[in-house]
């Protein structure tokens, strides 16, 4: 083997910014590959690291040996390393921790090595040519022929035998197999019937002929479905297969959350708009890095376009990543990719168990799966030969991760595509301001789908000014007569209503009648929400709860006024107004029980509910053709957030909710209630026109120098001691100011330090500093310089995190 490369560069999974050089013992030299984990000495500890590269030379220092190699094969391809390095640099985050974030959690726990004997091992043991330790192992294996590495270690009272075992394997004394632990997800297999060879119809019974003609038409069908049409199918199919008229195969099936198998689909003929776009992108598929923005209202056929381009990538022997927003269940989009690409698809999202996640990961590495579809973390899928990346609903905020490595999968999808020299497509009915700005500046090539495939008109949206009802008492303030009238109509027609409110609970704001103090969480600086479901007040940030019969914390009064409204209250009001209606609710509270979401969605699908009340959980990813009316109780809740993206988010959310109406044959209707009918975000959502919104919004962004005209890095500071956090924040602010002055950096604007919008969460006090600049690179460099300052980082009880391109500014 290559004896020269006996050093490796290792990224340690600890908050350290450098990588380190280690030596590999000669015996392990041929085993070590970039993308594998190693155990290394680090100071007085032993820690896990990732091999980044092989190195020929050392840097002159004394270099330590690695202790062990922890994997038999790389966990990610070497070709991803430049991308991962870029992330560490851009998000100012240690490379080892970037890699840790990129890999599925609980990786090693489910990967079990089993050791067994070889003939050579037995022979050599007999002839006495082995070392003492080697014979010991062979003798254990004689008693227990298939022993896990861990129990072998236990028996030898030595857990660090990985390397030793590998050496024995190399000598041919033993074999080592990697197996997944028992609890791996059970893979369901099912029988499918395919066409066999020729037959003469006349000679067959009616039923057999019917089966054959179904298979003729559909090419293949699952036995389960066939049985629904022809109950005796299982027996008949068996007979038919014995004559060779059909083939029966067992195959892994994928079920949607309702338990129905996903059947293969037949691609429709593209319409003119779609065909033009597909051919435009196809022709350039092998021409390197390109960025596209695909804009098109819901049901304009975007998903079909994605599928054609993915198919093209596969035809070029390449792979594809399709990012979809995070939802608790599989989305329509995933379902459709399954139907089109079957077993080539791997799915990655947070709903999977650790072992299931790992199983998917392995399928990708082994190239059994060539299409990955999933939530934001799928952008790290270990693919070596990508042909295209697609980001559906690119405006969705769930692409931003708001802890540890605070990346935005939409943004880094573009970076990965650049490293891989491939096209990337961002698609949305309501593109983000950022992406549309890039399209206007010709950084992105815009592709437009302007017509709906089925020509169904978009729903008609009526704005209701809630100010008119401000002085009304009771239910009419929230469920206005206009909305009631429409609900009544729909119920009488036997159709369904969706009522949307972006806030859960019963009463969201409770105050003491005597002294005016609000009921607040003991640990967080926010008011508590009364939940009748749980019969308690709850804090939505930390989960702290109080009895509903509380006294005022300040004056002891028992008279607590329950103000503010959430989904629970709306549900109650609707039930009083429409006693005959069957009402269900879908929000974080009702969905918290296992399987609850599926049950509720099933009810909607089977039309055993008439009115469904819910938060944005309802707005994403599902298709309910019999909902003909959408009522938006109060469109302003997200508008009042102290955040420069509040208007953008409101517009996107409203447009998305409105789009839930009228997805079937019948035209939908939307009643949008608001205190701000004149606000441009709300007006634009009435027209479902993102360009209208964009052109109103962009002057504000420019005037205040907010993204896309600048880049922002936010320093989030927190700690449990109120005064220490304040003192530290002020000091950090001073250091920033001095450094800015010293570097004569007038391009960087500093805002703060100030107390955060929510000053306390779970007993941690929070401050922040905002750095803003129209020149992105400068601010990144500045923050790196800043954190080199010992005073900034070396603080015991203070946590400081760097949020590059922040979303949650509170």
- Give the residues lining the site for Zn ion (CB under 5 A): 512, 514-515, 517, 521, 523-524, 539, 541-542, 544, 552, 554-555, 557
Give the shortest CB-517-to-Zn ion separation in angstroms.
5
- Of 209 and 550, nearer to Zn ion (C-beta) is 550
Give the shortest CB-758-to-Zn ion separation in angstroms.
10
Residue 640 contact, options ligand ADP, Zn ion, none, Cβ 5-8 Å cut-off depending on partner type:
none
Using CA atoms in the order 546, 549, 550, 552, what is the torsion angle rounded to 10 degrees? Answer: 150
Chain contacts with ligand ADP (rule: CB under 6 A):
268-271, 274, 296, 298-304, 453
Residue 541 contact, options ligand ADP, Zn ion, none, Cβ 5-8 Å cut-off depending on partner type:
Zn ion
Strands (DSSP E) contained in 66-137 are 68-69, 111-117
Minimal CA–CA distance to 74: which of 51, 57, 97, 96? 51
Does residue 355 sit in helix, strand or coil?
Answer: helix
Give the shortest CB-532-to-Zn ion separation in angstroms.
19
Give the shortest CB-766-to-ligand ADP separation in angstroms.
39
- In this structure, the number of other CB atoms found within 10 A of the CB of residue 335 comes to 20
DSSP string, 556-621: --S-EEEE---HHHHHHHHHHH-TTS-EEEESTTTT-STTHHHHHHHHHHTT--SEEEESGGGTSS
Residue 552 contact, options ligand ADP, Zn ion, none, Cβ 5-8 Å cut-off depending on partner type:
Zn ion
Tell me: cis bond preceding 708? Omega within 30 of 0 counts.
yes
Residue 673 contact, options Zn ion, ligand ADP, none, Cβ 5-8 Å cut-off depending on partner type:
none
For the beta sheet containing 611-614, the strands, ordered from the edge strand earlier in sequence to the opposite edge, are 460-465, 669-674, 627-632, 496-500, 611-614, 583-586
- Of 98 and 371, nearer to ligand ADP (C-beta) is 371
Give the shortest CB-365-to-Zn ion separation in angstroms.
42
**Whether 584 contacts 613, CB under 8 Å:** yes
Phi-psi group of 744: left, alpha or beta (phi > 0 → left; psi -120 to 50 → alpha; rest → beta): left
Give the shortest CB-297-to-ligand ADP separation in angstroms.
7
| β-sheet bridge partners, residue 38 | 49, 69
Kindly state the helix (H) or strand (E) to which residue 390 belongs, with its residue range. Answer: strand 386-391
DSSP code of residue 59: -
Residue 67 contact, options Zn ion, ligand ADP, none, Cβ 5-8 Å cut-off depending on partner type:
none
Minimal CA–CA distance to 502: which of 460, 563, 591, 565? 565
- Of 304 and 587, nearer to ligand ADP (C-beta) is 304
- Of 298 and 638, nearer to ligand ADP (C-beta) is 298
- Quote helix, strand, coil % in the chain, to nearest 5: 35, 25, 40
- Of 298 and 408, nearer to ligand ADP (C-beta) is 298
Residue 298 contact, options Zn ion, ligand ADP, none, Cβ 5-8 Å cut-off depending on partner type:
ligand ADP
Residue 523 contact, options ligand ADP, Zn ion, none, Cβ 5-8 Å cut-off depending on partner type:
Zn ion
DSSP string, 672-698: EEES-TT-HHHHHHHHT-HHHHHHHHH
- Of 295 and 438, nearer to ligand ADP (C-beta) is 295
- Of 270 and 646, nearer to ligand ADP (C-beta) is 270
Place of tokens 């698809």: 345
Give the shortest CB-207-to-ligand ADP separation in angstroms.
32
Give the shortest CB-81-to-ligand ADP separation in angstroms.
34
- Of 447 and 521, nearer to ligand ADP (C-beta) is 447
Residue 542 contact, options Zn ion, ligand ADP, none, Cβ 5-8 Å cut-off depending on partner type:
Zn ion
- Of 251 and 517, nearer to Zn ion (C-beta) is 517
Angle CA(707)–CA(708)–CA(711) in degrees, nearest 5? Answer: 50
Give the shortest CB-562-to-Zn ion separation in angstroms.
14
Residue 68 contact, options Zn ion, ligand ADP, none, Cβ 5-8 Å cut-off depending on partner type:
none
In residues, how long is the chain?
A: 810
């Amino acid at each position: 083997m290559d004896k020269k490369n006996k050093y490796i560069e290792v990224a340690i999974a600890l908050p350290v910014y450098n990588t380190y050089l280690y030596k590999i013992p000669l015996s392990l030299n041929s085993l070590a590959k970039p993308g594998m984990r190693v155990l290394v000495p680090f100071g007085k500890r032993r820690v896990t690291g990732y091999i980044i590269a092989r190195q020929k030379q050392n840097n002159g220092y004394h270099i330590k040996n690695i202790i062990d190699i922890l994997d038999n094969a790389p966990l990610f391809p070497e070709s991803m390393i430049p991308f991962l390095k870029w992330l560490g640099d851009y998000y100012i985050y240690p490379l080892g921790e970037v890699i840790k974030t990129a890999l599925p959690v609980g990786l090693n726990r489910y990967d079990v090595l089993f050791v067994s004997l070889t003939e050579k091992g037995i022979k050599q043991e007999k002839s006495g040519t082995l070392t003492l330790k080697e014979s010991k192992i062979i003798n254990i294996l004689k008693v227990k022929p298939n022993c896990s590495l861990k129990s072998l270690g236990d028996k030898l009272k030595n857990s660090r035998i990985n390397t030793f075992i590998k050496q024995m394997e190399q000598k041919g004394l033993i074999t080592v197999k990697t197996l997944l632990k028992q609890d791996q997800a059970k893979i369901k297999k099912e029988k499918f019937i395919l066409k066999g060879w020729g037959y003469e119809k006349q000679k067959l019974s009616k039923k057999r002929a019917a089966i054959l003609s179904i298979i003729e038409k559909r090419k293949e069908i699952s036995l389960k479905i066939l049985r629904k049409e022809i109950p005796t199918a299982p027996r008949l199919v068996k007979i038919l297969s014995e004559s060779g008229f059909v083939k029966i195969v067992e195959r892994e099936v994928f079920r949607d959350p309702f338990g129905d198998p996903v059947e293969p689909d037949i691609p429709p003929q593209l319409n003119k708009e779609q065909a033009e776009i597909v051919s435009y992108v196809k022709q350039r598929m092998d021409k390197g890095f390109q960025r596209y923005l695909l804009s098109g209202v819901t049901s304009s056929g975007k998903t079909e376009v994605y599928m054609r381009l993915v198919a093209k990538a596969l035809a070029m022997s390449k792979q594809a990543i399709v990012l979809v927003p995070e939802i608790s269940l599989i989305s329509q989009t995933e379902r459709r990719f399954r139907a089109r690409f079957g077993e080539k698809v791997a799915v990655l999202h947070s709903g999977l168990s650790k072992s299931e996640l790992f199983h998917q990961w392995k399928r990708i590495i082994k190239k059994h799966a060539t299409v990955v579809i999933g939530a934001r973390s799928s952008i790290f899928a270990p693919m070596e030969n990508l042909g295209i990346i697609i980001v559906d609903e690119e405006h969705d905020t769930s692409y931003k991760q708001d802890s540890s490595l605070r990346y935005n999968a939409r943004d880094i999808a573009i970076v990965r595509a650049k490293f891989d020299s491939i096209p990337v497509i961002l698609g949305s009915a309501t593109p983000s301001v950022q992406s549309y700005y890039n399209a206007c500046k010709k950084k992105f090539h815009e592709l437009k789908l302007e017509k709906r495939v089925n020509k169904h008109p978009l729903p008609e949206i009526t704005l209701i000014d809630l100010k008119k009802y401000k002085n009304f008492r009771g239910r009419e303030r929230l469920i206005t007569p206009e909305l009631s009238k429409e609900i009544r109509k729909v119920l009488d027609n036997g159709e369904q209503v969706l009522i949307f409110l972006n806030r859960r609970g019963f009463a969201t704001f409770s105050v003491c009648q005597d002294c005016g103090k609000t009921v607040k969480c003991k640990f967080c600086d926010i008011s508590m929400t009364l939940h009748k479901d749980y019969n308690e007040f709850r804090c939505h940030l930390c989960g702290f709860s109080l009895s509903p019969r509380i006294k005022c914390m300040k004056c002891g009064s028992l008279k607590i006024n329950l103000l503010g409204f959430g989904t629970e209250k709306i549900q109650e009001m609707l039930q009083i107004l429409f006693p005959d209606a069957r009402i269900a609710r879908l929000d974080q509270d009702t969905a918290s029980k296992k399987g609850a979401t599926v049950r509720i969605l099933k009810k909607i699908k089977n039309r055993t509910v008439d009115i469904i009340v819910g938060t944005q959980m309802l707005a994403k990813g599902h298709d309910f053709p019999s909902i003909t009316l959408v009522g938006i109780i109060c469109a302003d809740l997200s508008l009042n957030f102290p955040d420069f993206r509040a208007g953008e988010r409101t517009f996107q959310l409203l447009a998305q909710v409105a789009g839930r109406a009228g997805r079937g044959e019948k035209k939908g209707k939307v009643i949008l209630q608001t205190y701000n009918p004149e606000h441009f975000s709300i007006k634009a959502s009435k027209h479902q026109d993102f360009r209208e919104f964009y052109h109103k919004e962009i002057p504000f962004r420019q005037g205040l120098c907010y993204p896309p005209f600048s880049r922002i890095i936010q320093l989030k500071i927190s700690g449990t001691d109120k005064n220490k956090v304040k003192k530290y924040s002020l000091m950090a602010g001073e250091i920033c100011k001095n450094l800015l002055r010293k570097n004569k950096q007038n391009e960087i604007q500093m805002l703060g330090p100030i107390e955060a919008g929510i000053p306390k969460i779970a007993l941690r006090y929070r401050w922040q500093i905002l750095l803003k600049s129209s020149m992105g690179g400068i601010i990144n460099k500045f923050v790196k310089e800043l954190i080199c300052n010992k005073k900034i980082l070396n603080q015991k009880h203070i946590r400081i995190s760097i949020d590059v391109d922040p979303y949650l500014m509170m």
